[in-house]
Amino acid sequence: MSRKLSTRKRPERDRHMLKEQLKIEEGVFDKRTMAAIWKMFNHNIISRLDFMIAKGKEANVYVADSGSSIAGDQIILKIFRIETSSFDRRIDYVRGDIRFEGKEGRSPYEIVRTWCKKEYGNLMIARAAGLHSPIPYYFNGNVLAMEFIGDNGMPSRTLRESELENPDAVMAAILSDLKKLYAAGLVHGDVSEYNILMRSNVPCLIDFGQAVVLGHPNSGRFLERDVGNIISYFSKRYGIEKDPSAVLDWLRKGG
């Protein structure tokens, strides 16, 4: 159950500590990013930034202490960098998606804000479809707050970093989640051993920003690539052989 505490009752010490953190991070975050983080503090989503766990071309990922409106001790903040260079190659995942027609934006900030909103919406669909994926909590501007996937304060390892005891079951669970996502009208578009986290031997799909609706002109190609990546990985590492065409036929069938 989520803990409830009004902003007015929040200890002033917490408010002061976050202000000091944002001052320290001012050389990394621009003013709009800092404002988005501050808004999450005021909405009781976070109470403190802890540490960075990943630095990518498009976003940095931080662990943060959760605020009073979130169950659990920690959450993830995904902070998308406002740069055109890293998102130019990603815009095709937005164009062609009927949910964002005419909304992809022209300025770097508009493009990144649309991408952040897109990942939040895709995560909502994934969770509603029953996938093992992070719970999306909140987004504002270029900052997305979501469930922390890990144990005892430590982030879970990726599929790539894990040595599986039962790889057949893990592979079946991943393909089952892709089937659920397809039935919900989405294709992930970027599945690999690097963006699947292993939580208590259960695979958890992450990085849904590029997921597209089935009506997207490239959805079929993206689906084939997702399935191909999984089959290739389990074949090379664990010697499990599956026919990609048969898996795709099964995945596309309802029920």
Q: Which range scores top for mean pLDDT: 45-49, 91-95, 251-255?
A: 45-49
Amino acid symbol at 22: L
Is 207 tagged catalytic? yes
Structure tokens at 243: 């026919």
Nearest alpha carbon to residue 156 among 189, 202, 187, 122:
202
DSSP string, 160-205: TT---S-HHHHHHHHHHHHHHHHHTTEE-S--STTSEEEETTEEEE
- Residue 118's contacts (CB-CB under 8 Å, 6 or more residues apart) are 93, 94, 97, 99, 100, 209, 211
Nearest alpha carbon to residue 80 among 62, 67, 94:
62
Question: Which letter, b or e, does each residue of 37-63 get, where b requires 16 or more Cβ atoms within 10 Å of its Cβ?
Answer: bbebbebbbbbebeeeeeeeebbbbbb
pTM for this prediction: 0.84
Specify the pLDDT at position 1. Answer: 34
Q: How many residues does the chain have?
A: 255
Specify the pLDDT at position 92. Answer: 63
Q: Tell me the pLDDT tens digit for each residue of 148-174.
A: 999 877 899 999 999 999 999 999 999
CA-CA-CA-CA torsion sign (78, 42, 34, 85): positive
Nearest alpha carbon to residue 248 among 178, 192, 190:
178
Question: If you classify domain 156-252 with CATH, what class do you get?
Answer: mainly alpha
pLDDT at 185 > cutoff 50:
yes
Residues of the chain with CATH 3.30.200.20: 7-151
Specify the pLDDT at position 144. Answer: 97
Rounded Cα distance, 10 and 53, in Å: 27
Catalytic residue among 97, 177, 207, 226: 207
Q: Tell me the pLDDT tens digit for each residue of 103-129.
A: 555 677 888 888 899 999 999 999 999
Specify the pLDDT at position 20. Answer: 52
Catalytic residue among 190, 226, 243, 249: 190
Tell me the CATH architecture of domain 7-151: 2-Layer Sandwich (3.30)
Residues of the chain with CATH 1.10.510.10: 156-252
Q: What is the dihedral of CA 123, 45, 71, 191, to 10 degrees?
A: 20
Is 190 tagged catalytic? yes
Rounded Cα distance, 73 and 54, in Å: 19
